[in-house]
Structures are given as C-alpha cells and as structure tokens.
Structure 1
Amino acid sequence: MMDQMSSGQTAGGAGFAPVVAADRGLWASLRLAFRFALREMRGGLRGFYIFLACIALGVAAIGGVGSASKALTGGLNEQGRQILGGDLSLSATAVPATDEQLAYLGQFGQIGQIGSLRAMARTDDASEQLLIDIKAVDGNYPMVGALVTTNGHRLAPGSVIVDPLLLERLGLAVGDPLVIGVRHFTIADSIADEPDALASGLAFGPRVIMSLEDLQTTDLLQPGVIVRWTTRIRMAGTPSLSQIDAVIAQIREKFPDAGWRIRSRANAAEGLARNIDRFAAFLVLVGLASLITGGVGIANAVRAFIAGRQTTIASYKCLGAPSWLIVGIYLMQILFIALIGIAIGVFFASLVPFILQAVVPDNLPVSSELFHPLQLGKAALFGLLAALLFSIRPLLRTRAIPATALFRDQIAPVKYRASKRDWGIVLALGAMLVALVLATAEVLYVAAAFLVGMVIVFALLRLVAFVIMKTAARLPRFRHVVPRLAIANLHRPGALTPSVALSLGLGLSLLVTLVLIDLNLQQQLTGNLQQKAPNFFFMNIQNSEVTQFEAELEKLAPEGTHQRVPMLRGRLVSLKGIDARDFKAPDDAQWVLRGDRGITYSATLPENSTLVEGSWWPADYSGKNLVSFDAELARQMGLAIGDTIEVNVLGRTISAEIHNLRRVEWQSLAINFVMVFSPNTFAGAPHSHLATLSLDPQGKESAEEVSRRESGIMKAIVQDFPAVTTIRVGDALNTVNDLVRQLAWGMRAASSLAIVASILVLAGALAAGQRERIYDAVILKTLGATRRKVLLAYSLEYCLLGVITAIFALLIGHVAAYLVLTNVMDMPFSWQPLVSALVVVLAMLLTILLGLVGTWSSLNRKPAQILRNG
C-alpha cells in the first residue's frame, strides 16, 4: 500500500495540493486528469474484456440491423422503377381500364396492361393439378428491365412461361402441354428472372405468364371473377418524384371514381419495405435490450475495476486530489474503453450490408450505398449512453466516500447514499437514453412499452434479489457446514445475489420471451390453424353453377361441412367523410385502407361472428345501404354506429351507414369479412361466390387418409369446374409457414444474442465478486475447510441462485410473451413446459459452471500471500 502511495505521489509531483491551489482552468484540469488516466492504463485492459464485449455486442446488433434495413429498403427505392415495371401503376379489381381512360393515360408516357388472377392448372391427362398465379401481359411487357428465361425462349401465342416450381410439382418439362381453364397451352420456357416480381406481393402458387389475348380464351373471365387489372405508365426520361406526384393528382382529378390504387416507383414494394422496417425495428429493440442487459455487466465491470483501485484512490485523496479529479481520471478510462468497444461494434455492423449483398436472393435488391453512417452513429450513441449510464454510479461512489473509508471498504463496506446531484446525473443520462429510443423508434407505442417493460423487469429482479436475501437470512441454521455456508453466502454483506439475479434474470427473461413467441407462432401456423381451418377454399363460383357445384361437394364429401357466401372486392374510399388516403388510422389497422378488401352481403348474421353492438337488419330489409363492421377494427379506427363509409366496387362508389359491430374469429380461417353489407346494397351487381369445405370434423381420419381424399376432391373439382379456383388450405399454410420460418431465423438470432449477453453479464457479475471470493476461500482454508467442502458450498450457492432466478425469469418471460402475442399480434398464447424446464436447467448449469471457474482460481491462491497483502 505504501508503494502505491509513493507511486501516486511521484505521478503528481509534490502531491495534488499545488495543482488545486493554482487556478489553471478547465482545460488544464482535463489535461491533468487525462495524463493520470493514461498512466493508469499502461497495465492494459485486463478486467474490461466483458465490458468491451457487452458494448460491442449491443452496438453491433443495433447498427447491423439498422444498416441491413436501410440497405434493403434503399435497394427497393433505387430499383423502384424496375420493381414496379414503370413510373406509375394504377390497379383495380374486376374492372379493366376503359378506352377513354387508356387514351388519357397515354399522354403521360408508354402504357402497359396486366391482368392478374389465381386459377388452376392441370396436366393434359388431368392426373395432377395445381393452384397458380396468372400474370397476363400485353406486348409492351416488360417496359423496364427484362424477363429472363432459362433457355432464352420468348412468349408466343398459345404458350406460357412458368415458374420452375410448377414444372417440379406437376412433373412437366419445357415443351409439354398445360391446361388452364378450358385452354391447352404449351410450356415455352421457365422463368429465370422476373423483373417486377416483388411488386406482385406474396403468391400462393407458382407464376404463369401468358398474353392478355390468350387469357380471354381460357373462359376464366366470368362475371364477378376476381381479377386485378393493372395499367402501368413509363414516363419519358427519368421524371422526378414531384413530377410523378403531379401526374397522379391530374389522374385522380380526371377520374375520381375509378377506384384505382395508384402507386409510384417511390413505393413500388411498399408492403415489403414496411415489413422490413417493422421487423428491423423489433430486432433493434432486441439489440437494445441486449445492450441494456449488458449494461449490468458494464456496471459490474466498473465496480470491480473501482474495487481494485480503492487503495490508489485513497492515496490520491490523502495527497490532496479533489473528488472531481478522481472521478475525471476514471471516467476518462471508462470512456476510452467504451469507445474501443463501440468501434469494434461499429466495425462489425458496417460489414452487414456487404454480407447481405452476397447472400440475399437476386430478386431482392440491396442498395448500392452500403455504408450507412446515420445508423452506425445511432448505434454508437446508444452504446456511449449505456456505458455512461451504467458506469456512473460506481464512479460517483468514489467521490462520496472519504479516504479512510476507502482503505477499510473491502472488509467493512461503507453504504453509499447518493446525493441529489448524483441522482440528477443518473436520471439525466437515463432520460437521454429514453429520448434516443423514442426519437428513433419506428412504432412509438411499441418502443414506449419496451422501455416501461425494461424498467418493470429491473424493479422486479431487484425485488427478487431482496426477497432471496431476506428469506435466506431468516432460514434456520443448518447443522451441516456446506448448506449453512451456501445459505449464508446468499445474504451476507457483498453477496453476489443482487448482481447475479439482475444479470441472469434479464438475459433469461429476454430469452424466454423470444423463444415463447417463436414457438407459439410455429404452433399456431402448423398446429392450431390447420386443425381449425377448412380443408378447401373455392373461389370464383359462378351464379349459374352454384347448385351444381354444391351437389358435387355433397357427392364427394357427404360427411363434410361446407359454407358458401357471395363475394365481391371493394376498396374503402372514405370513412366519416374523410378520404381514406387522409384518414388517420393506427398502424395495426392501416391494412384495411390499403388496396382491395373482400366484401359480402348477408341477410343473417354470418357464422364465426358475434354481435357486439347494434342489431342485425331484417331478412327482407330494403332501405338505405347498411354495413356491419369488425368491432375491433372499428374501435382502433374510431368508427361507431351511425358513421358513414364509402366503398368503390366494380368502379362505382357506394355509400353505407354502419348499422352494427361484430366480433370476428379470424383465427378460425373460416369465411370472414371486415365488412358485411345488407343484401339490397348490391342488388343486380355481378359477383361470384366463395365456398369452404371441411373434411373429417371429428378428426377420426389419419393425415394420410385426409391428404388422399383432398387430392381426389381437388382433381374432380378442377376437371368438372375448370373456372373455379381451388385453394388447398394446407398448401397455402405451408407457403406461409415457409415465410414464417425465414422470419423465425431472425427471432432465433435475437434469442442467441440474448444468451450471449446473459452469459457475458453473468460472467461479469461473478468476476466482480472474485476479489471477495479469494478472501473467503483463503479464510476458509486457513480455518481448516477442505477444497471439496468449499466447492460444494459454492456449487450449492450458485445452484440456488440459478434456479430461483430462472423461476422468476420464467414468470417475467411468460407474461411478456403473453402480452406481445395477445395484444400486439392478436394471437392466442399457450404455455410451453419443455421450454420452462430447459431454461431452469440451463440457468442452473450456467451459473454453477461460471461460478466454479472463478472459485477454482480462488482456491489455487496461496493463503500466506493473500493474508500478508490484505
């Protein structure tokens, strides 16, 4: 200790008093603190590796996700013209653009037309059939980019170009015949690259490209059939977005009731871009949660660092160093180390766009701008604020404690009571971190809920540690030394309980939440939905064939249940007199205002619906147009009974008054609609019908038997009703499952991040108590304890800490996952017992393993050396 005092005196010349006495100004004071900080750091970064890892991990996660999001959305914006197939896209359901409209649109540039619909394709011998996504194009397709085929063949009359998946599923090859509707086609080639594939959205069947002229000969274009007609405009040169917006305004003014959904190249794949932003926002919050979890590790590392410098700090104070200088010396060291961690994190985050460019599919563009300084700067700022927030209290503690207390602190710790100024500094840093989270959030209320949740979890885990310590203190003394020592270690001064409970609890809570969300999503899509959902959806059933079609279903599946409703497509034009484009709806309800919605009419309350407010109209009602609206969506959008909405259907704008609100069971995947109109609303309007068929309602048949029956029914329907679109729900769910599985990899990566952060923080917490453990082990060995008993005592202590903390983390994680699934995703929640058991075992093993690693090194220290230097 005297050696340390001497080194401190030499470093400062004749002590600190002359320095303090001379008014050298702020800059000179900072230089002095910086000089001492550099001298102390000559020993390297030992003890700060966990600190560095926690900072680098959080910064890399936040910066990497942000950079990836901007790289993908930037690529969509850069290639918006090619993705959209032009500068403007005008689409409507069931009604193609008229000659008058095409003539007017032609003044703005080159015109291209596309008709899109779902239909059934079958082999020439009708032995196999498949749901397909038809894209019928004119001679100008594609106006931007190029349609690349596998063998270089072009589209010709009577031929189709198909997705390679169709060839695989139907066992066909290029040159083979393919039957669509009543028309036989020849497969000219397979698609290698479709330039505008992203603009078409999610397809439930392989793409088939044919000419518009050939589509007319398939007999698929019956009255009421759902066809999306798209007119694209490629303007001359490269018009600016303001010029495109001006053209859009002119088109809307000329044809206000056309019912078009108009998109420009600026939002060519707006659904995909929106989903990328939302998923990225979720992953950024997970990264931030890992950074905050790592903040506990930062605090532990700084606390251990300060504990190792206590005698040096005491020496500084005895030599006259003011408190601000001591805080400045160690704050500069912390900042320097934090900046190293931030630099490491930023470096790895900056590599993410380059990795994306190499691994993402060719049809998903990546921005040519691969360096995103704003996202990296945001991540660096998060890391800096987290480092300061979690390290400032241990630093301020050195300022508040007198020199004499510092010398005896390791054997008689002085309780630190923060002053109002100290709390003000901590709260100011916390407020800055909160402000940064809210200012950069994609969805404000989700970010706010996340912050509130983190505060609650922190408070609960602090409470858990307090309860553990109080309970351990009140337990009766055990006769055997091992359990008595383990229980005493849980509540003694300087116990690891608070730091381990907080560090392990935070990581496990985050891990449990993410894993439960992932498993519930998988279970809902692969289990519950497939059990509840009908086996088939049948679309585009014509009025003239309804009776014959239902008779066919009765013959094919006499024990099955089927449901049929009329179906049209419509787009909301206005709500409560406000244009739908200007209507302010929450993010969860925005989908209702985008594009067309399926609508129907009914004289009675539909199945799978419960009346919540209002009454149903009489079966013979013939007054003004009425509509029933989904109750939850109405609540979110501020709609009430008596409000008026306008819907564009078949090119006509129809007004209706909300007459009642009903609860819809969307999870059943039965026939459900947001809007159900009174029958008089669409009297005489051409429309088709939608039907479902459910087989084996009692669940007595095996999966193989059901699949075999489904294949037989599908074959018969496609052969007898070629214009009816048959959707096998199991196949559709498999398509959705594939997409969810891809998204689940992001969830699993986030879960892995939580595990790594938890391990790092736990290791830091145990390392912070390493110094005390060395003294404990030495004293116990001196008093005659064997190495085996010390190891058993510590093992039992770590086991108890791990199990108790894991149980509370399970409770917190289950509550968090329940709230996310039921309130945010609107999905049911189910408990996963296997996850619970694995988490408890993982926590117990992890705590024992990391704890014993440190304890083993403690037992190897020589008692004489420790006691002599103590």
Structure 2
Amino acid sequence: MKDPALLPQAWRLARRELRGGLHGFGVFLACLCLGVFAISAVGSFAASAQGGLLADARALLGGDVEARLTHRELDAAQRAALAEKGRLSEVVEMRAMARAAQGEGRLLVELKAVDEAYPLFGALGIEPSAPLTDALATDAAGRHGALVEASLLQRLDLRVGDGLYLGEAELRVSGVLSREPDRTLGAFTLGPRLLLSHAALAETGLLQPGSLVTYAYRLRLPPETPADEVRAGLQAAFPDVGWRLRTWREAEPRVRDFIDRMTQNLSLVGLCALLVGGLGVAGAVRGYLGGKVYHIAAMKCLGAPGRVIFSGYLLQVLILGAIGAGIGLLAGAAVPWLAVQLFGGRLPVPLLPGFYAQPLLNAALFGLLIALVFSLKALGIARRVPPAVLFRGYAETARLSPGAGVWAAITLSATALALLAFLTSADRRLALWFIIGALACFAIFRGLSALVIARARRAPRPATPSLRLALANIHRRGSPAGSAVFSLGLGLTVLVIVALVQANLNRLVDETVPAEAPAFFFMDIQHDQVAAFESVLREVPGVRRSERYPTLRGRITAIAGVPVAEAQIAPEVRWAVRGDRFLSYAAAMPSGTELVAGRWWPADYAGPPLLSLTADVAQGFGLGVGDHLTVNILGREIIAEIANLRRVDWSTLDLNFALLFAPGTLEGAPQTHIATAYVAPADEGVLLRAVTDRLPNVSAIGTREVLANVARTLERIGTAFQGMAAVALITGFLVLAGAISADQHRRIHDAVIFKVCGATRRDILAAFAAEFVLLGLAAALISALVGSLAAWGILEGLMNTPFRLRAGAVLATLGAGLVLTLLLGLAGTWKALGQKPAPYLRED
C-alpha cells in the first residue's frame, strides 16, 4: 500500500468501526465531557465576568474619571477644574452607627452621601420606585429621606416610613435600596448601605476633622474625550493634591485579580478532573481494542499494514473525543447564560454572557491532548498485535510494547499538555507546582496501586471464603484493581485536599482568635472626645481593659526612593501598597510585639521622621533598618527612615499597625483615635448603647460580626472548590464504573462457577462486597496520606498558613467515598448474580 492511500484506508476502517455503535465508549465520552466541561465552564464564566466588568466599568467606577481622597475635600479651584471637564458628581462615603427611633437597636452602617447628578452611569434600584431626589427629599416634619438595604430594616425591626437616628439627625426611611450601579461587586462590608443626601449628612454632625471619610469626585466626559488624557492633565495641573485618579478602564482592579486567582485555581481543579478522566479514556480504549485483537490479527493476515490499523483506530478515538469534548464545550459555554437566568442580580459580579473563543479553545486543546496521552499506548500495542494470534486461540497483549515512536508521541503530547497548563495560567508558579504535583501523584498512585496488588498476592489465605475470594480477585491477572485504586484514589485525594484547605482556612477564623479578643473596635473618636470616651468605659462595669491609638490614613508612594509602580514587591505584601492604610505613632513599643532588627526610639524623641515597620512587610519590600519609605499623608509626602523591624502576632487582635511612626512627625495632622474594649458578653449591649448615646459620631465594629462575615466569605469560596472537586470525584467513579463494566464478563463467569459449586447469592454478594471494601479502604488510606501531604504543602508553602490535620473532615470525606465505592461496585456486579448457569455451561 502506498503512503498516499494511508488516510483513505484509515478513514474507511474508522468509519466501519463507528457504524458498529459506541458500545464500550460510554466512560470515554463521559470522562472527556466532564473534564472539558469543568475547564470550559470556569473559563467561560471568568471571561463573561471580565466582559461584564469592562462593559459596566463606567458604572462600576461611577464615571469616566474618578478622583478619590481620604479625610479631606477638594478646594474650590480643584473642584472647578474638574467641573470644566464634564458633568461632576460628588460622593461621600464613611461608616457610622444608626439607631432606631423606637427601640434600643444599634447597627453599624455604610453611609453614602450623593448629589442630584448621581449616578452618572447606570440606574439605582429603589423599592417602591421613585426618583432619587424625591426619595431623599425632606418631609413635612423636617426629616431627610434615606434609602437603606433590606437587611437594615430586618436587623433594626423597621419599616419604610419609620424614623432612624444617624448622629445628631433623625432621618426617614423612604425606601429600600436594591441596587447601586457602582456597588454591584458585593465587596466585603461591615454593615448595610444607607444612602442619603449631602444636606442630610451635614446635619448628622458626623463630618469631624480626622474622621475616616472618603470623598469621590466622578466625571462624565463628552463622548469623544479620552479619559486617559483628562487624568494626565489633572495630575499635571495638581501634582501635590495627593488624590487617587482612576479612569473607567481601571475600575475594580482587586476584583479582576480575585477573578483571575479563582479562575486559575478552579481551572487547575478542573484539569485534575480531566487527568483523572484520562484513566477512563485509557481503560475504555484498552478494553475496546482488547476485544478487537482477533479482528486486528485477521486484518494483518490479509495484508493490512500496522500503520493503517493504528491510524484508523486513532481517527476513531479522535472523532469520539471530539464528540465528548464538544458536548462538554457546549455545556461549559452555556454556564454564564444559565447563571444570569437562575441568579440574575444576586451574582457577585456583572456577567456579559457570550461566546468566548479563547477559554473554549483552551478546554478543547486540553481534551485533545488528554485523549492522545491516554490512548496512544493502547493504539501502539494494537498496531503490534502479531497475525499469529489468530491461530493460537488466545491473545496475550498486556506485555507488548507500543514501540519507541509511540512512546515519543506520548512524551510529546504530555509535554504539550504541561506547557498548555503553564502558558494559560495567570500564576505560573502555581501552575508549575500543579504540574509537578500531578506527575508526583500519578507516579505515587501507580506505585501504590501496584503495591496493593502485590500485598494482596502475598497476604495469608483467610479462613473466610468471601475474604479469600476477594483477595484473589484483587491480584489475579486482568483484575481492574489497579485502575480502581488509581482513579478512585486520585478523585478522593482532590476532595481531601479541598476539605483540608477549607477547614484550615476556616480555623483561622474559628480558632486563632484568642479567648481575650476585644468585643468592639471603636473608630472616629475625636481628640476632644477621648476624655468622654474613657469616662464611658469606666462607667460600664463589665469592661476589663481597653487600648487606644491615634490614627491617620496614608499611602505608600515610594520604596527606597523607587515609585511603588516600579518597585519589586512580593505578592504576599502587595496589600500594603493598595490604596490608603491605617497608620499611627507611639512613644512606647506596643504590647505583644517583638523587635527583630534595630532599636526602639526614646520616649521623648523629636528628630527627623522615623518609622517602625513589620518584618513581613519589610521582607516583601526588600527593606531593612536604615532604608527609607515614602508615605503620602493628606497630600504631604513624608520620607521616613526605618528605625526598627517588628514581628506582630495579628491573631491576638490587639491594636497594632504595619507602619508606626516615632513621635514628633504626625501630631499636628488631623486625626482621630481608634480603641478596643474588652468586655464581658453580657455587658456588650450596655457598652454599645452607652458609647453611641454619648458620642453619636463614634462607630463601633463588633468582632463577632466581622468574623462571621469572613466565615461566610470563606464558605462561599469553599463551595465553589468543593463543586469542582466533586467533578473530579465523579470522574473517578466513572473510571471505576468503566473498569467494572469491562470486567463484567469475568464476574458473570465466576458467579456461574460459584453457583455450580453450591454457592448462594448471599455468598457471591459477600465475596464481591469484600473485594470492593478492600479496594475502597486501600484507596481511602492512600488518599488520606497523599491528600494530607498535598494540603500541607499548599497551606505551608503557597499560602504561608499553619496546617493542622482535620481528622473529622478527612474521615467524613473518605467514608462517603468508601460507601459510594461499595454501592457502585455492587450495582455494577448485580447482573452477575442473576445469571442462570446452563447457558454459560453450554457455551463452554
């Protein structure tokens, strides 16, 4: 046969085989479909979220350009310069305590004061529907209107029309705020939103010098005006204002980063499911070609070259792989549409459903490479089946080698798979660790599954017949035990990893908070209110102790003279340069801290600016004692020398700061105080009412409520990872089902022999159940060990988080896996129990 005829001959062979149906390829299709679906669904959801952010960017930012300041407003000249560029809207944001006009309820709320131009883009959701100006207008009693989220009404037992005290003013709840266009991302908050007018905010008396207030000035530009040019012009005209200028293209960069990280992590879990599914692909192709041995030998006797056989069955595998991957791609591409239809406005990010080719192409390539990597060996062996098999009456192909060329193709495909995972990853370091971990897991599980079979072969013969038969079934030639332990073990390992990582992250909230944690953090205490605040603490008998520090807000602008945008900063401390940070000054070193470098300054220090920095931030910045850090505080650049480095245990919740200045630098700046109070639980309500009644502008943050919010956030993230891990586990069960299905004929044959020898159904069921229990236990023990080690590496190495083995989570996960393995195994062998011996005896 000439080479040009290779493809037509191979196509004829593949087409003929496909006409015979898809029998034996159910697991093949399901495994590829599930794995490709997982990857394409994550990619499509992330792409639609990115598209939604871009399409909604102006609404998310609130304008084409935003100028943001903390603590202070723009002056008249600066405001006029902004107003010349386009339509201007001014938004003021802060936190405060609200209390019901009737009753004792107190609640921390997120205030937003807006003008008549708000919102410049998008639309507010108000229930009952009303224009914003009418909702915020003053009623006959002189009360300004306010819009609140539904949770505020529930927690303070209020209804629309009721009164609400905020600072020194009484407001009227005029409606429920169901949507804000510039707050659709569901960011972490400390309380429900309360929307009011600038006039109403002025009457509350909450705007005090040094209060933690954010002023945002937003511009809607004419259609053809470039936002970047406007920002550059404003920055050049007012270089020393200290504002943060952003355009609509930079809206919510943290959310974009979060989406990228979630996409990366979930995609890797989905790829893990696809890798586990590769075992099902290998088993299905091997089982299918095993049944074609005599057919292949006959074709060789008639002169068919091995390359035609190889190419024909490869075409068949690729066609079926395309079908399975295509179904997965369609399902994955539909996820954003379904999410919008099912959840709508409850989604944490705006979605723009559509057909996103890049994530679907990546998922298709993953599916193609998995199909090749796990099917080429069986295809290579089929190519080398000798024609003499047709005359020997049996086929021993397990020991055949696929050949050097096929091994080279497998290596090339596996390398391409690893490169694709690496190049499509937003975090190359994490992707590299995943590739190494996947290779290690495959090697470990392959070796351990072989060890389980070897131990079963060498184990003493139990007196119980069912156990004896179970051990024999595990180590006999052609047993599916290796594939079962391998596939099920990998799936359970992924589930153990996710369970342990989530349990340890939850532990940070549940267990690392000390018993002596403060009950409240009190913020925005004015300097002239310190004495009154201390007096209230003394009057409440349950207060054991308190801490207090002056606070300001500052933004790090340069590290050792290098602007932040150009500096090399470790990823784990990038939070320190994202926007303004709380900072303070102190003469004495805070309690509970340890100096690791340098010396503390004298209590009466009055020299050039000195700074104490936490050791982790200094390491991430690449700084040491004697280096300099530039901090912008209220528009003034302060260059401070690092005098010492501190190690801080943040889990104590004692008051502390990453940046702590020496005395003599910040005392003259507008500032407020922050304090903690340690009080008995029974007296928390008394303290809260006493402080907020005496000092209405002071905000109280309850520690328990903050920790509950963090726990809910971790739970939502963990749910997504658990769902993806479940896909990996389901794929593992599919592989197990495929192995059981391929072994069906042998089990029927065994059941017939047992019945002839006098065994009852109960005896046969006990033997099969013992086999699956032993396999499940082996897979569970291996998964517990490997999954715990992997979770330890992820937490200690990648997340820099202490690891603790959570035996309950591991046992619950493995117990569920063991029960499902037993049920699946028995369901797959149930057919064997009902077979009559006579037909099979006649065949033999």
TM band (smaller chain): over 0.9
- Give the distance between the partners of 2:259 and 2:667, measured in 1 at CA: 42
- Give the distance between the partners of 1:238 and 1:672, measured in 2 at CA: 48
8 Å contact 1:55–1:345 — kept in the other structure? yes
1:125 is displaced (CA, Å) by 5.2
Unaligned runs of 5+ in 2: none
Moved more, 823-832 or 133-142: 823-832
Unaligned runs of 5+ in 1: 1-19, 697-705
1:537 is displaced (CA, Å) by 0.5
Matched, 1:155 2:129: no
- Give the distance between the partners of 2:647 and 2:842, measured in 1 at CA: 76
- Give the distance between the partners of 1:368 and 1:484, measured in 2 at CA: 60
* Partner secondary structure for residue 208 of structure 1: strand
Aligned mate of 1:620, from 604, 607, 630: 604
- Give the distance between the partners of 2:487 and 2:274, measured in 1 at CA: 12
Shift of the 807–414 alpha-carbon distance from structure 1 to 2, 3 Å rule, reads: closer
Moved more, 648-657 or 776-785: 776-785
* Partner secondary structure for residue 115 of structure 1: strand
Matched, 1:232 2:215: no
- Give the distance between the partners of 1:68 and 1:532, measured in 2 at CA: 43
1:207 matched residue in structure 2 = 193
1:524-563 alignment to 2 at 5 Å? 524-526=508-510, 528-529=512-513, 533-558=517-542, 560-563=544-547
- Give the distance between the partners of 2:644 and 2:833, measured in 1 at CA: 75
1:334 matched residue in structure 2 = 317
8 Å contact 1:515–1:751 — kept in the other structure? no
2:84 matched residue in structure 1 = 107
- Give the distance between the partners of 1:610 and 1:459, measured in 2 at CA: 45
Moved more, 294-303 or 460-469: 460-469
Shift of the 807–614 alpha-carbon distance from structure 1 to 2, 3 Å rule, reads: farther
- Give the distance between the partners of 2:711 and 2:556, measured in 1 at CA: 30
* Partner secondary structure for residue 232 of structure 1: strand
TM-score with structure 2 setting the length = 0.93
1:248 is displaced (CA, Å) by 1.8
* Partner secondary structure for residue 199 of structure 2: helix
1:570 is displaced (CA, Å) by 0.7
8 Å contact 1:641–1:661 — kept in the other structure? yes
Matched, 1:801 2:786: no
CA offset digits 1:375-395 (Å, max 9, x no partner) = 222211111111111111111
1:781 is displaced (CA, Å) by 5.5
1:377-396 alignment to 2 at 5 Å? 377-396=361-380
8 Å contact 2:522–2:674 — kept in the other structure? yes
8 Å contact 2:112–2:194 — kept in the other structure? yes
2:342 matched residue in structure 1 = 359
Match for 1:327: what amino acid? Answer: F
Aligned mate of 1:197, from 183, 192, 196: 183
Matched, 1:574 2:558: yes
* Partner secondary structure for residue 565 of structure 2: coil
Shift of the 774–613 alpha-carbon distance from structure 1 to 2, 3 Å rule, reads: farther
Match for 2:825: what amino acid? Answer: G
1:363 is displaced (CA, Å) by 7.4
1:165 matched residue in structure 2 = 151
1:836 matched residue in structure 2 = 810
1:409 is displaced (CA, Å) by 9.5
Matched, 1:140 2:126: no
Aligned mate of 2:724, from 737, 745, 750: 750
Matched, 1:583 2:567: yes
1:278-677 alignment to 2 at 5 Å? 278-362=261-345, 366-404=350-388, 412=396, 414-526=398-510, 528-529=512-513, 533-558=517-542, 560-677=544-661
1:71 matched residue in structure 2 = 48
* Partner secondary structure for residue 687 of structure 2: helix
Q: Over aligned residues, Cα RMSD in angstroms? A: 2.6
Shift of the 649–759 alpha-carbon distance from structure 1 to 2, 3 Å rule, reads: same
Shift of the 844–728 alpha-carbon distance from structure 1 to 2, 3 Å rule, reads: closer
CA offset digits 1:467-486 (Å, max 9, x no partner) = 22232233233455433332
Aligned mate of 1:38, from 5, 15, 28: 15
Shift of the 534–792 alpha-carbon distance from structure 1 to 2, 3 Å rule, reads: same
- Give the distance between the partners of 1:623 and 1:837, measured in 2 at CA: 60
Match for 1:346: what amino acid? Answer: L
- Give the distance between the partners of 1:348 and 1:277, measured in 2 at CA: 22
Shift of the 177–784 alpha-carbon distance from structure 1 to 2, 3 Å rule, reads: closer
1:266 is displaced (CA, Å) by 1.5
* Partner secondary structure for residue 362 of structure 1: helix
1:92 matched residue in structure 2 = 69
1:264 matched residue in structure 2 = 247
Moved more, 177-186 or 339-348: 177-186
Shift of the 755–414 alpha-carbon distance from structure 1 to 2, 3 Å rule, reads: closer
- Give the distance between the partners of 2:430 and 2:368, measured in 1 at CA: 23
Moved more, 640-649 or 778-787: 778-787
Shift of the 29–860 alpha-carbon distance from structure 1 to 2, 3 Å rule, reads: farther
- Give the distance between the partners of 2:228 and 2:453, measured in 1 at CA: 66
* Partner secondary structure for residue 215 of structure 1: helix
2:28 matched residue in structure 1 = 51
- Give the distance between the partners of 2:592 and 2:298, measured in 1 at CA: 77
Matched, 1:80 2:54: no
TM-score with structure 1 setting the length = 0.90
Shift of the 555–841 alpha-carbon distance from structure 1 to 2, 3 Å rule, reads: same
Moved more, 734-743 or 799-808: 734-743
1:804-823 alignment to 2 at 5 Å? 804-823=778-797
Shift of the 621–323 alpha-carbon distance from structure 1 to 2, 3 Å rule, reads: farther
- Give the distance between the partners of 1:219 and 1:825, measured in 2 at CA: 44
1:342 is displaced (CA, Å) by 0.9
Moved more, 771-780 or 434-443: 771-780
Shift of the 483–409 alpha-carbon distance from structure 1 to 2, 3 Å rule, reads: farther
1:12 matched residue in structure 2 = none
CA offset digits 1:737-788 (Å, max 9, x no partner) = 3433333331332233233112112112223333444455555566666654
Match for 1:102: what amino acid? Answer: R
Moved more, 365-374 or 715-724: 365-374
Match for 1:609: what amino acid? Answer: T
1:143 is displaced (CA, Å) by 2.3
1:117 matched residue in structure 2 = 94
* Partner secondary structure for residue 255 of structure 2: helix
* Partner secondary structure for residue 207 of structure 2: coil
* Partner secondary structure for residue 566 of structure 2: coil
* Partner secondary structure for residue 523 of structure 2: strand
Matched, 1:764 2:738: yes
1:181 matched residue in structure 2 = 167
- Give the distance between the partners of 2:52 and 2:162, measured in 1 at CA: 37
1:130 is displaced (CA, Å) by 1.1
Shift of the 219–79 alpha-carbon distance from structure 1 to 2, 3 Å rule, reads: same
Match for 2:622: what amino acid? Answer: G
* Partner secondary structure for residue 662 of structure 1: strand
Shift of the 296–311 alpha-carbon distance from structure 1 to 2, 3 Å rule, reads: same
Kindly, what percent of the aligned residue pairs are identical?
38
1:7 matched residue in structure 2 = none
1:220 is displaced (CA, Å) by 1.8
1:113 is displaced (CA, Å) by 1.6
- Give the distance between the partners of 1:388 and 1:816, measured in 2 at CA: 28
1:129 matched residue in structure 2 = 106
Shift of the 857–311 alpha-carbon distance from structure 1 to 2, 3 Å rule, reads: farther
* Partner secondary structure for residue 693 of structure 1: strand
- Give the distance between the partners of 1:345 and 1:474, measured in 2 at CA: 43
